[in-house]
Structure 1
Amino acid sequence: MASQSNYGSHDSLHSDADELTAQAKRNNKSFSETTLTSNDNTGPSEPEENTLLYSTTSSARNDERWYNRPSIPIICVLMFLLCLSDMLFFTPNVGLTMTKVCTHLNDENIEDPEYQCDPAEVQVIVSEITSATLIISGVITTGTSMKWGGVSDRIGRVRALAYMGTIKVIGNLLHTLALLPSSPYSRWLIILTSCINAFTGGTFAFMATANSYVSDVTKQKDRTVQLSVVLSIMHATMGIGPMLSSFLIKFSDGRDQVPLFGSIAIGAIFTLLCFKLVREPRTEESRLKSQSEHDKHLQQMQEKKKSMVSDADNSKEKILAYTKYYAIEIFGLYKPMKKLWLKPTETGSLIPRYTVILLLALDLLSMSATIAMGPALILFATYRYNWRSVELGYLVSLLGILRSLMLVVLAPLLLKLLKKKFTALDRSVDNVDIISLRGSMICIFIGLCCMIRWNKHFQAIILYGFFASLGAIDSPTIQSTIIKYCSKNNTGEYFGGIALIRSFAMFVIPPLLLKIYASTVETKPELFFYVPLVSIAIAIFLTMFLGVHEEEQYSDSDVMSIDTTTDGMD
């Protein structure tokens, strides 16, 4: 293994760290400087080795300031700031859009003094705006989310987050200007400005980058719990953000614009922290290695382009050659996703490949019953219960707090109990994973049944949120289990591949649910709930095909996905 060849055993790691500390004191240098120098002079290292150097050595903790040490608390702070910025923007955005549409309808019918905008008509128009936004954003997100994982491998997790923050600040500012009462109404201006954030790769790209950060600073045995902690921060912020937004609206005499400007300010703080203060967890050597592989791929593509064009004898053949080359380039964008198509093991087993595919399918089905139904659920609440920004803020806050409590309190206890009864495996799916997934999906199924049965009462949403929060462990469990089968050298690309697949799902499922909702809002608005209900039922059935297999000691080369640097070029 790479860890043995470079550093030896974990005991020698600690002794090496002690020697570095003593040397640093003799030279009046900080431990961190000596460690970084040491890393540059050693061979390739894996994230768990970096974790020992950065996080577990007492000298490092004493000599470095807390904000200079890559750690779980640091990424939690960044997660909190960015999610708070998003959630402050979310609920007022819905209310402002509906107000903008209603004002526009009133202006169009100004000659009729008795006319008042019809809530059902507003719902249909806002659904169309939201659907168009989701489709356009989905196209953009699909083209960008897959790239952020590889970018974070090359330039670092923190720098990638900084660029994401910059795009978000610009996008939120322009969208706020489009929704101001002083701005003229334009459906396409609202849609296009709301799509700017899609260039960050969306929430899934941000989560993939954050998960890569976690993977860099944690060991495999702790990864599910740590991913749950980070995800709980997101959901806790989903609870705090809308509630804070509601308070700001209430104490500013109903001005929905106030939380939007607060969102922009917090996004700017996040971006400045990433550019100026937060330290990168990925070593310079690892980044250079990823950059070298990327440059090699680009060089191969350029050589292939020259070869293809030089073989063309006339203009028609050159056009065909260029067309083929750029088609290869476009399909090359899906390289991170293809990495999840794992090679057979040395014994020819395809169990890792099929397991990863099954886990991805479970993730998509679970998403359709939770995250993907969010836009339609919000519109349903505004229509069925006549809720506006303040009430929606309280709703989203409650759902976020419930999920956060599950992830930060109940999930670690559950995992601890399961690990006492079952053996946890580092390189394969185990009973702990299977029971966690099946149980969480059954909880989501029960929540949806409650929503359908008692949808005329607002308490049904609370029941759904409670049971869905009990199933919140499914996402970190799925992602942690997938990473068990993947190479540790390019975790950013694997998480990027997962983000891409999730982006595809968000490109299709939410607009579909909104289309169903818009078509049935006047007759049976709750009909769209049956789609996620069927999806989660299928997911529960598919968990029956997950099984514990004898754990094999895969080497990095065994679990590396198919090399895509030359795929499709021959």
Structure 2
Amino acid sequence: MPAPKTYAAVVADEQDPVLGSPLNPANNLNATSPFLPSIDGDNDEQGARAAGWDAAADFDGLPWWQVPSVTWLLVPFFIFAMAFGGMIVPKLNLIVDLVCRKHFADETLLDPNFTFIPVVLGADNPQCFIPEVKKSVSVFTMAINLTVGILSAFTAPKFGQLSDRYGRTKFLALASIGGISAEIITILCAKYPDVVHYNWLILAAVCDGLTGSFTAGGILSNSYASDCTPPSKRAVVIGRLHACLFTGLAVGPLLAGFLVAATGTLLSVFYALLICHIFFLFFVGFVVPESLSQQRRLRAQKEHAEKQDDHSARGTWLAPLHVANVLAPLKALWPTKAGSSPALRRNLVALATIDMIIAGVAMSIGTVLLLYCESDDTWGWGTVESSRFISLLSWVRVFVLLAILPAINYIFRVRPNARRARATGTAVPDANQGADTLDIWLLRTALVSDILGSTGYMLARHEGVFVFAGMLTAMGGLGGATVQATLTKHVPSQQVGQLLGAIGLLQALSRIVGPIAFNSLYAVTVGSFDTAIFALLASLFLLAFLATWLVRPHVYLKHDEEPAGEDEPLLQEQRGRSAVGSQVAASG
């Protein structure tokens, strides 16, 4: 009988004076940036092999079009993000116009002498920005977000778990089907507003949520990137995906505004979005190579089958409850098996909380932020001004992720590792080592920027100050890429999808709680204390900043495939230190 796998929660004692990283053979020498060359000048895949990253060997001998790389995802993910970003302002304005038409129609029924300026779909309709309409829009958009959030809370984690066993690309393609259905319903509501009631947009949200929505697309894309990338390069590579996201968010509104100006109708935007979703479906489903080799998928299927057999042996009556429990994926954040430690669990929970806040705020603040900006009591922006504002913030995030983050990674991670390699004369392998000091301080810096920007939103009394505050929050774009890359460094590669599935569940839950908090607060305080939403925003970022102080560097779950006796005692944290110390002594 084969010996069971063992896991060890490892904490390193001896640290590099620059990075705070352990002087351990698992450090990487080839964490490059997209703008700066690698140490030995090789490409990513060659660098991964040279550094001893074992996943690169899974695709040896295959033609280039069958070798997975995050580069395959950049174009389709950009299209996916552009569709998502391009619909934010037009869809919100469509909802405002539809709700406004209904409001004025109801007023006319109550008072036949009531007069109003006709509402033109897609045009600037200042008559619609009255407290009654804004409250109705806030409640309706909250209902849409709740619908998507509740349903994606079920589906996104399942997609993450299933993708570990059956591959990433299948479920990435599946996630776009909901977007296609949602755009078709939106087109019908916009084209036939007198026939198709805007409440049908709730059905569009149901279709979107059942396929995991943007949450599933994000976690599956990050899982794909993690499969293709050595751990120490992961923050930079996931940063590229986030840069594609924000580039899409920047370009999408501009193209949407151009289409509206050129065609004179909002419908053209939604037709274009439908084409984007269809392109993503076919490109990811039929062109992008799978990132998990058949060997790794079969191994994950075998481990899952063994786990199911174990559950059956313990008692079958609990199985239905386990399947129905929507919170079951969160167990990935609280490992209790052999070798896990309190430090590991604390790291995972703290980082998951930070990610939940960052993602939840990003998904929840957009609607009320635009309503605040477009109100006559503040800046009175229209579709063009709002689109430019979103585009500006997105371009700032792109610059941070494609220029600043790789430069920081090169200066503080690549160069020290290169000096250490020259000093020892040995190329060291790349492996999961948990968060290092650089990861933690990047998170803290990003969250401080978010706190300052949110406070600026609250105190701004001039458009220029408000826009500058928005740019400060955009600088916090470092946080999203860093926290997700850091999370994947804590677990073995075959558990990345499961872990990010749990993160997807938390993001979906934040999509439920976030709109309730922000939209309800805005609906209650509109006209009296409109900036209350920014006070809440700053408070959440402060909570995330405090959580970073709970994260301990270089704690991770080590996957050991070597034979071990069944009576092997649990490895404790001190034993992990001793193992690392022995490796250092041997290498010296």
TM-score bracket, normalised by the shorter chain, equals 0.7 to 0.9
| Matched AA of 2:252 | G
Q: Does 1:340 align with 2:351?
A: no
Residues 110-142 of structure 1 show CA distances to partners (whole Å, capped at 9, x for unaligned) of 423523565221111110101111222221111
RMSD: 2.9
Instruction: Find the aligned partners of 2:215 and 2:408 in 1 and give their Cα distance.
Output: 26
Instruction: Find the aligned partners of 2:408 and 2:475 in 1 and give their Cα distance.
Output: 11
Q: What's 1:528 paired with?
A: 533
Instruction: Find the aligned partners of 2:310 and 2:515 in 1 and give their Cα distance.
Output: 39
Match of 2:493, SS?
coil
Instruction: Find the aligned partners of 1:553 and 1:123 in 2 and give their Cα distance.
Output: 49
Pairs within 5 Å for 1:163-562: 163-184=174-195, 186-253=197-264, 255-295=265-305, 308=317, 326-331=320-325, 333-343=326-336, 346=339, 349-367=341-359, 369-383=361-375, 384-419=378-413, 420=415, 426-454=432-460, 456-548=461-553, 554-556=558-560
Distance change >3 Å, CA 548–CA 385, structure 1 → 2: same
Q: Does 1:161 align with 2:159?
A: no
Larger RCO, structures 1/2 (Cα 8 Å, 6+ apart): 2
Does the CA-based 8 Å contact 1:159-1:275 persist in structure 2? Answer: yes
Does the CA-based 8 Å contact 1:80-1:234 persist in structure 2? Answer: yes
**1:485 Cα deviation after fit:** 1.6
Q: What's 2:64 paired with?
A: 64
Distance change >3 Å, CA 199–CA 388, structure 1 → 2: farther
Instruction: Find the aligned partners of 1:291 and 1:184 in 2 and give their Cα distance.
Output: 49
Instruction: Find the aligned partners of 1:545 and 1:471 in 2 and give their Cα distance.
Output: 20
**1:520 Cα deviation after fit:** 1.1
Distance change >3 Å, CA 273–CA 368, structure 1 → 2: closer
| Matched AA of 2:296 | S
Q: What's 1:316 paired with?
A: none
Instruction: Find the aligned partners of 1:216 and 1:172 in 2 and give their Cα distance.
Output: 31
Q: What's 1:19 paired with?
A: none
**1:296 Cα deviation after fit:** 5.3
Residues 255-274 of structure 1 show CA distances to partners (whole Å, capped at 9, x for unaligned) of 11111110001111111112
- Give the TM-score taking structure 2 as reference length: 0.76
Match of 1:250, SS?
helix
Instruction: Find the aligned partners of 1:556 and 1:165 in 2 and give their Cα distance.
Output: 37
Q: What's 1:24 paired with?
A: none
**1:449 Cα deviation after fit:** 1.5
Number of corresponding residues: 488
Distance change >3 Å, CA 166–CA 371, structure 1 → 2: closer
- Per mean C-alpha deviation after superposition, the further-off stretch among 179-188 and 103-112 is 179-188
Distance change >3 Å, CA 542–CA 552, structure 1 → 2: closer
Distance change >3 Å, CA 195–CA 386, structure 1 → 2: farther
Does the CA-based 8 Å contact 2:157-2:329 persist in structure 1? Answer: yes
Instruction: Find the aligned partners of 1:266 and 1:483 in 2 and give their Cα distance.
Output: 30
Instruction: Find the aligned partners of 1:142 and 1:556 in 2 and give their Cα distance.
Output: 32
Does the CA-based 8 Å contact 1:179-1:190 persist in structure 2? Answer: no
Match of 1:448, SS?
helix
Does the CA-based 8 Å contact 2:452-2:472 persist in structure 1? Answer: yes
Distance change >3 Å, CA 198–CA 401, structure 1 → 2: same
- Per mean C-alpha deviation after superposition, the further-off stretch among 460-469 and 210-219 is 460-469
Instruction: Find the aligned partners of 2:371 and 2:531 in 1 and give their Cα distance.
Output: 11
Q: What's 1:18 paired with?
A: none
Distance change >3 Å, CA 326–CA 294, structure 1 → 2: same
Residues 173-211 of structure 1 show CA distances to partners (whole Å, capped at 9, x for unaligned) of 112212334443635322232332112223222111011
Residues 392-430 of structure 1 show CA distances to partners (whole Å, capped at 9, x for unaligned) of 222221111111111011111122222256999941322
Does the CA-based 8 Å contact 1:144-1:200 persist in structure 2? Answer: yes
**1:251 Cα deviation after fit:** 1.1
Distance change >3 Å, CA 146–CA 411, structure 1 → 2: same
Distance change >3 Å, CA 421–CA 547, structure 1 → 2: farther
Q: What's 1:139 paired with?
A: 150
Distance change >3 Å, CA 123–CA 356, structure 1 → 2: same
Instruction: Find the aligned partners of 1:169 and 1:124 in 2 and give their Cα distance.
Output: 29
Does the CA-based 8 Å contact 1:92-1:257 persist in structure 2? Answer: no
Match of 1:278, SS?
coil
- Per mean C-alpha deviation after superposition, the further-off stretch among 390-399 and 504-513 is 390-399
Does the CA-based 8 Å contact 1:88-1:263 persist in structure 2? Answer: yes
Distance change >3 Å, CA 530–CA 100, structure 1 → 2: same
| Matched AA of 1:402 | V
Distance change >3 Å, CA 343–CA 398, structure 1 → 2: same
Instruction: Find the aligned partners of 1:489 and 1:202 in 2 and give their Cα distance.
Output: 24
Does the CA-based 8 Å contact 2:259-2:268 persist in structure 1? Answer: yes
**1:299 Cα deviation after fit:** 6.3
Instruction: Find the aligned partners of 2:492 and 2:328 in 1 and give their Cα distance.
Output: 15
| Matched AA of 1:529 | F
| Matched AA of 1:439 | T
Does the CA-based 8 Å contact 1:163-1:271 persist in structure 2? Answer: yes
Q: What's 1:34 paired with?
A: none
**1:443 Cα deviation after fit:** 0.8
Residues 296-354 of structure 1 show CA distances to partners (whole Å, capped at 9, x for unaligned) of 5566777888x65xxxxxxxxxxxxxxx65433212x43432112123664x7421111
Match of 1:339, SS?
helix
Match of 1:374, SS?
helix
Q: Which runs of 5+ in 2 are unaligned?
A: 6-24, 27-51, 118-126, 421-429, 563-588
| Matched AA of 2:113 | D
Does the CA-based 8 Å contact 1:245-1:259 persist in structure 2? Answer: yes
Instruction: Find the aligned partners of 2:544 and 2:390 in 1 and give their Cα distance.
Output: 25
Distance change >3 Å, CA 373–CA 441, structure 1 → 2: same
Instruction: Find the aligned partners of 1:76 and 1:259 in 2 and give their Cα distance.
Output: 22
Distance change >3 Å, CA 432–CA 259, structure 1 → 2: same
Residues 47-70 of structure 1 show CA distances to partners (whole Å, capped at 9, x for unaligned) of 94343454xx7x75xx534xx431
**1:557 Cα deviation after fit:** 7.5
Match of 2:458, SS?
helix
Q: Which runs of 5+ in 1 are unaligned?
A: 3-8, 11-46, 309-323, 559-570
Does the CA-based 8 Å contact 1:248-1:258 persist in structure 2? Answer: yes
Does the CA-based 8 Å contact 2:360-2:507 persist in structure 1? Answer: no
Distance change >3 Å, CA 353–CA 89, structure 1 → 2: same
Pairs within 5 Å for 1:37-52: 48-52=53-57
Does the CA-based 8 Å contact 1:447-1:464 persist in structure 2? Answer: yes
Residues 62-93 of structure 1 show CA distances to partners (whole Å, capped at 9, x for unaligned) of x534xx43112111112111112222222211
Instruction: Find the aligned partners of 1:395 and 1:246 in 2 and give their Cα distance.
Output: 12
**Runs in 1 of length 4+ with deviation above 6 angstroms?**
299-305, 421-425
Q: What's 1:20 paired with?
A: none
Q: What's 1:30 paired with?
A: none
